[in-house]
Structures are given as C-alpha cells and as structure tokens.
Amino acid sequence: MDLKQLTYLLAVRDAGSFTRAANGLHVAQPAISMAIAKLEQQLELRLFDRQDRTVRLTPEGEVLCRHAERLLLQMHQAEAEMAELKGLERGEVRIGIPYMMGSYYFPPILMAFKHRYPGLKIRVEEAGSRELLSRMVDGTLDLAILITSDLPPALEGAQLLREEMLMVVGEEHPLRQVPAVSLTQFFGQELAMFRRGFYHREHMEALAQGLGCEPNIAFESNLIPLLKAVVKQGFAVTTFLRMVLDEETALTGVPFAPPIFLDLCVAWRRGDPLSMANRALRDFLLAQAQP
C-alpha cells in the first residue's frame, strides 16, 4: 500500500467512477483501475462495489478512506513544513557564545541575521569556553564560538576573527601611558579575573606558570561590568579582548609585549550534518569575518 494508491482510492470515491477520477487526476483510467485492483489484492478485501458505470465504497473501503485522508493530510503537512524549512521560513538555530563576545561583537550581527531570516528562532547561550565545549560535544548546541587552538577532534571549525588581548587599567594607574607591558609586569599587579572554566583565565594562568610565577588574583567574577568597575576604581587590573574597550573612556587597554592574540572560530560537530538554518547562520557569520 502506497500513497499513490490511497490518492486514487479517494479520487474514485469522490468522483463516483474510475473514468471521472482519471480525468480529474489527468491519468489513464486503466492505471487507476489497476492500482485499486492491486490494493484490493494486497489487502484481500473488496473496497468498491462496481455496478454499471458507478462505484460505491464497501464498509471496508470506508474504513480505509478514513485512514487515507489522515495519511495524505500528514504527507501534505510534511511537504509544506519541509518547504518552509528549505526556504528558511521556519526553524531554530542554537549557538553558544563566550561571555565577552556576547555583549560586544555579536548583537549587531545576530540582529542582521534575524532581519534577513525573520522566521527563524535564534537561541543564544552565553557561557565559559569549557562549558561551551561540553555542550557542543553532547549535542546541546549546534554551533559555538570557540578558541581555534582549543578544538577537540570531535569538533571542526572555520576561522572567524583574531582579537588582541590587552591589559586593562583605570585612569590613575601608573602604567596607563606606557606603550606596552610585559607579562612579568602584568603578573606583578593585583588582578581581577574571570573564574576558572573560562579560556581567558586559563590562558593567563598557563602564561604565568610558564614564567614560574603565581598570579595575585584579588577579584574573581564572571560579570564583565563588575570587573570593569573594580578596575575603574583602581583596585586591580584585568585583561579583556580589545573589542570590550570600544567606547570605554574610563579604561585603557595596554598591549602586551610581545602581543597576545586569540584566534576565534565558529565550530560545529565533525561529521554531524547541520540543518539548513544552522548552515545559514554559520555562513552568515563567516561572511562577516575579518579579512
């Protein structure tokens, strides 16, 4: 039993004859007769009473027609939904973004994407890099912005942008006017840092370990506004990506010598086919990537 047979079944019922059903479907009348006969043979049931030039459903045929109506409706609904998804008129994207980038880089890009595809639902989750990695691997997220060098074998990614990491100081800090600072100078300060689980924090700790020193971390927080406030008040210094300091007049970013850059990528699970909606978001992000 297939959908074509069920379509012919309903057409004959509605038309009251095989000939009129064939004319309505623009197919040869023998094709419909053979399809119905084959269906009756498969089911071992008589579906129509054939009298002269008219046909009438048997009780068994009426039962099958009720099922056929539901199945064909579901098929049409599925086709319509697939067409909407193909046209990106419906669907959902799930992307994870590090805290620092969620506030300073992505809002205008995501709004532009939403403007292009208003029917798509965008679910954004902000978290630390380690948490985002975990959610990507377990399938909770479809896409994530991650450190390129940090990708495990289960993920693959495409380069999105390179951002410089800066030491950030308040207006009264003595290092505010210097052209660059060394890591030794930085680790000699009281520090306000993200909590563990953030690549930013772990990267700086790894650099400190390489120098054989222990960072003097006076404040820990995952809240960028709180870290900014601590630095503005002169209680500590911190590190942010350069993008965080745009239009921030009360804070100064001082480059490291040698400079420290983070390469960021948009990542997805290796070998896991993305939906059209997620592919559209990935390609849109890459189109905005810095040259």
| CA–CA separation, 168 and 260 (whole Å) | 13
Q: Is the pLDDT of residue 48 over 80?
A: yes
Quick one: pLDDT band at residue 85, thresholds 50, 70, 90?
low
Quick one: pLDDT band at residue 24, thresholds 50, 70, 90?
confident
CA–CA distance from 169 to each of 100, 213, 217, 235 (Å)?
A: 17, 21, 15, 10
Q: Is the pLDDT of residue 77 over 80?
A: no
CA neighbor of 280 nearest in space, from 81, 95, 156: 95
**Per-residue confidence (pLDDT) for residue 279, from 0 to 100:** 86
Quick one: pLDDT band at residue 81, thresholds 50, 70, 90?
low
Quick one: pLDDT band at residue 202, thresholds 50, 70, 90?
confident
3-state secondary structure at position 48: strand
CA neighbor of 169 nearest in space, from 219, 240, 72: 240
Query: Which tens digit of pLDDT belongs to each residue from 88-111?
Result: 767 788 899 988 787 778 888 999
Quick one: pLDDT band at residue 87, thresholds 50, 70, 90?
low
**Per-residue confidence (pLDDT) for residue 116, from 0 to 100:** 86
Q: Is the pLDDT of residue 220 over 60?
A: yes
Q: How many CA atoms lie within 13 A of 265 on its CB side?
A: 15
Where is average pLDDT lowest: 28-42, 114-128, 220-234?
114-128
Where is average pLDDT lowest: 119-128, 169-178, 180-189, 254-263?
119-128
Task: Quote the tokens at residue 209.
Answer: 């370990």
Quick one: pLDDT band at residue 280, thresholds 50, 70, 90?
confident
Mean pLDDT over residues 161-167, rounded?
Answer: 92
Q: Is the pLDDT of residue 230 over 90?
A: yes
| CA–CA separation, 6 and 25 (whole Å) | 13
The pLDDT mean for the chain works out to 88
**Per-residue confidence (pLDDT) for residue 254, from 0 to 100:** 96
Q: Is the pLDDT of residue 80 over 60?
A: no
Q: Is 223 exposed, middle or buried (0-12, 13-18, 19+ CB in 10 A)?
A: exposed
64-86 burial, b at 16+ Cβ within 10 Å, e below that, comes to: bbeebeeeeeeeeeeeeeeeebe
| CA–CA separation, 213 and 244 (whole Å) | 27
Quick one: pLDDT band at residue 143, thresholds 50, 70, 90?
very high
